[in-house]
Amino acid sequence: MSTSRKAPLGQVSDFDIRLLRLFKTVAECGSFAAAESALGITRSAISLHMGDLEKRLGMRLCQRGRAGFALTDEGREVLRASQSLLAALEGFRSEVNALHQQLRGELNIGIINNLVTLPQMRVTHALRKLKALGPGVRVNIGMMTPGEIERGVLDGRLHIGVVPLINPLSGLEYTALYEERSQLYCGHEHPLFHQSDEEIPDEALRMADAVAPNYRLTAEALERHQTLNCTATASDREGIAFLLHTGSYIGYLPDHYAASWVMQGALRPLKPERFFYSIPLCAAMRKGRRPNLILQRFLEALEHSQT
């Protein structure tokens, strides 16, 4: 499809906003096929709507075909502008909601992976309370890296995020949620698995092949890993678990995440009274944010949730 340059865009209609929401979803999903289930419409319908938007804007937003899906340079700029527009619309709706003291709208949350096994479940309890207070509230949860969450909170795409408190950003404020303890583990096929802690010399732990995370860590966690023979890396905790289950590596995992495998006899902690570290997990919000009744109710529910 060819598009020609048009006059500057005039009034943005409700139809344009619906098309921009569709475009944002397609871009985030990475293809028309992947966006089908998220949008609840067929690929052909998505293609027609995308064509309408490109005609409306007078520019090609993406390449699609045998070579795959990719945003054009203009498409990336339109996506950025769309995210800002939709975030502003949601901010407007939140302010109007506050006037009526009714919970209507969205709560966008970013959470790091593998927190659902935390026994305290404070986020879960707060979401349940929010659902009771505002049955019509739409909750959108994204599982992201800490850096993605912080950027999303700062630019307004996310209302709140749950991140480890490692290098606090000046534009964010943090509320403590959990203290996550990690211990050193090995899999049931590892040579150290069947030895008692008393039988395992510290030198054996220092010499064993170990896996290190390549995401940000606290100084304490870095110090723990520096004493190990890290010959593999992983981008997240699930990657570390994969390598531990090979029986070829030792490594640190959060105790709540490893608990089910420990009960099954698939993993065991190594000298847990000595080889451990803790990282605080916090709720992060943007400083100077606009009043948002939904977020305020969620924060209140977090404060009164089980600790």
Residue after which a domain boundary falls, among 84, 115, 143: 84
Same domain, 34 and 117: no
In this structure, is residue 6 part of a structural domain? Answer: no
Angle at which helices 122-133 and 293-303 cross, to 10°: 130
Integer Cα distance of 59 and 64 in angstroms:
14
Same domain, 226 and 282: yes
Residue after which a domain boundary falls, among 84, 115, 131: 84
Token pair of 175 as six digits: 């509320």
Check residue 145 and give its pLDDT: 86
Q: Is 136 exposed, middle or buried (0-12, 13-18, 19+ CB in 10 A)?
A: exposed
In this structure, is residue 4 part of a structural domain? Answer: no
CATH, residue 19: 1.10.10.10
Same domain, 160 and 256: yes
Same domain, 41 and 164: no
Residue after which a domain boundary falls, among 84, 114, 136: 84
3-state secondary structure of 157: coil
In percent, how much of the chain has pLDDT > 90?
A: 62
The dihedrals phi and psi of 108, each to the nearest 5 degrees, come to -100, 120
Same domain, 109 and 77: no
In this structure, is residue 131 part of a structural domain? Answer: yes
Mean pLDDT of 80-84: 92
Token pair of 212 as six digits: 């290190």
In this structure, is residue 9 part of a structural domain? Answer: no
Count the domains in the chain.
Answer: 2
Same domain, 273 and 161: yes
Mean pLDDT of 257-268: 96
Containing structural domain, residue 198 = 102-307
| Number of residues in the chain | 307
The dihedrals phi and psi of 161, each to the nearest 5 degrees, come to -140, 155
Integer Cα distance of 210 and 166 in angstroms:
23
Integer Cα distance of 158 and 89 in angstroms:
13
In this structure, is residue 151 part of a structural domain? Answer: yes
In this structure, is residue 244 part of a structural domain? Answer: yes
Same domain, 80 and 108: no
In this structure, is residue 2 part of a structural domain? Answer: no
Check residue 306 and give its pLDDT: 61
Same domain, 228 and 277: yes
CATH, residue 254: 3.40.190.290
User: 1-18, pLDDT tens digit by residue?
Assistant: 444 455 566 678 888 899
3-state secondary structure of 46: helix
Spell out the long-range contacts of 202-209 with Cβ–Cβ below 8 A and sequence spacing 24 or more. 205/250, 205/270, 205/271, 205/275, 208/249, 208/250, 209/248, 209/249, 209/250
Same domain, 38 and 153: no
Mean pLDDT taken over the chain: 89
Same domain, 253 and 119: yes
| Nearest Cα to Cα of residue 26 among 69, 77, 67, 66 | 69
Which of the given ranges, 61-65, 112-116, 180-184, has the highest pLDDT on average?
A: 180-184
Mean pLDDT of 50-71: 86
